[in-house]
Amino acid sequence: MLLLAIPTAVAGGVAAAADGGGSDLQGIATVVFGIPFVIFGGVAGYLADRYSKRRVIVFSKAAEIVVMVLGLFAFLAAPTIGFSGLWVVMFLMGMQSAFFGPAKYGILPEMMQSNQLARANGIVLMTTFIAIIFGTALAGPLKDLAGNGEANQLAAAPRLWFASVVCILIAIIGTAVSFLIRPVAAAAPGLSFSREYLVVPKPMRGLLRQDTQLVLALGASCVFWMIAGLTVQSVNSLCISQLKLTNTATSLMVALISIGIAVGGVTAGWLSRSGNGDSGPRILRYGMWGVVVSCAIMSITLPGGQLLVGRWGLPLLLIALGGAAAFFSIPIQVFLQARPPVELKGRMIAVMNQANFFAIVMSGVLYMALDQFVIAMDWPRSTLFAAMALLFLPVAIFYKLEPSGQQTVGDNATLDR
């Protein structure tokens, strides 16, 4: 979910263009940020297993400093080169995150006992989203200060140099903190690189063929992340185009989802503290139906364009949606971390990232199509949430998570490393 934070900040700014008669660039922003995960996910998984995950984390954080510096130059040059520099930087941000993700989440099973994974993921999710809350909440005010209208945004982009400097400092602090992570051994130090890591590597294909539950969990995760990608874009569109909120207010609305995720992540981890095998599936069910119900309620618009829940009910509903999302995400994430053998965990996280971000890329494409359809039909933007509820409904009805996240693939199964 951290990986959605950056498109959120960009989307919050560009959504307003559509309201002013320009193009809504949110779909493009989502695609540009998500493509590196699809392209480089396999290579990232290889590196996370071939080398110590701590080492990969440190190098990834150092690369983040370089990308943030390039972001500063992209803002300063925006009046001359337009959005081109920002698109390049966004692609590089996605690329850096693609290499960071498998090591960040793959290291948890190497440092924690299996019955501690849910709580560890909940704490990581909470602390991650505390940062996202602040970043997302500031995106709107900064955009308002930079000016409205696409042309004015580009002319005023250099004013955001201070925000870029802050991002550089945060990247430096993050790199320094990464050195404090406890060293861990490489999971597969003898692993050799081959071209198959540009797609799904052979050991992972073998594992997925043998483990139906792993495939189903991966598929459910993909549908969820496609909905998550649509949610960020749709909230921006709803608040700006239908409810006529300011960019500052819109950013705060998106930040409320992050608050729900942070609280929900800790709560889901706490509920899983006993380590009972049935806690994950139960929490997952609450999350799935919470997402469906929240989206369905949010889709209802009264005559005059106001939502059924009203402007005061919307914040509570967005927090509830975030909490439900965390209740779904934590059990799935723990399952996908714990299920594979030790030497494949990094590559499993990489494949998960590839699949999830392919879904996020598709959410950008789907959003552009739905946005044009809603405009053509002259329907309210809240209709987008009805589409999301319908898309996620089959998952809520039919998907069942296996009670135990422990690996059930036979010990004698042969998986080429």
DSSP assignment string, 1-38: -GGGHHHHHHHHHHHHHHHTTS---HHHHHHHHHHHHH
Q: Give the residue with greater pLDDT, 332 vs 116.
A: 332
Cα first-last separation, the chain: 29
CA dihedral sign, ordered 378, 381, 387, 389: negative
Distance CA 367, CA 30 (A): 10
Residue written as token pair 């043998």 = 210
Beta bridge partners of 42: none
Domains along the chain? 2-183+199-398 (1.20.1250.20)
- pLDDT at position 69: 95
pLDDT at 409 over 70: no
CB atoms within 10 A of CB 69: 16
Indicate left, alpha or beta for 305 from its phi (over 0: left) and psi (-120 to 50: alpha).
left
pLDDT in tens, 230-284: 888 898 889 888 888 887 788 888 888 888 888 888 888 788 765 555 678 889 9
Alpha-carbon distances of 210 from 202, 206, 407, 412, rounded to whole Å? 13, 6, 11, 12
Per the structure block, which two tokens stand in for 322?
């975030």
Amino acid at 154: L
CB atoms within 10 A of CB 224: 23
Q: What's the pTM value of the predicted model, to 2 decimals?
A: 0.72
pLDDT band at 315 (very low <50, low <70, confident <90, very high): very high
pLDDT in tens, 183-201: 888 888 888 887 877 777 7
For helices 53-81 and 84-111, give the axis angle rounded to 10 degrees.
170
pLDDT in tens, 24-41: 677 788 788 888 888 888
Per the structure block, which two tokens stand in for 72?
């500063």
Per the structure block, which two tokens stand in for 113?
């006992």
Average pLDDT rounded to a whole number, residues 336-362: 81
Distance CA 371, CA 223 (A): 19
- pLDDT at position 227: 86
- pLDDT at position 273: 66
Highest mean pLDDT among 117-121, 142-146, 183-187, 316-320: 316-320
CB atoms within 10 A of CB 333: 27
Amino acid at 184: V
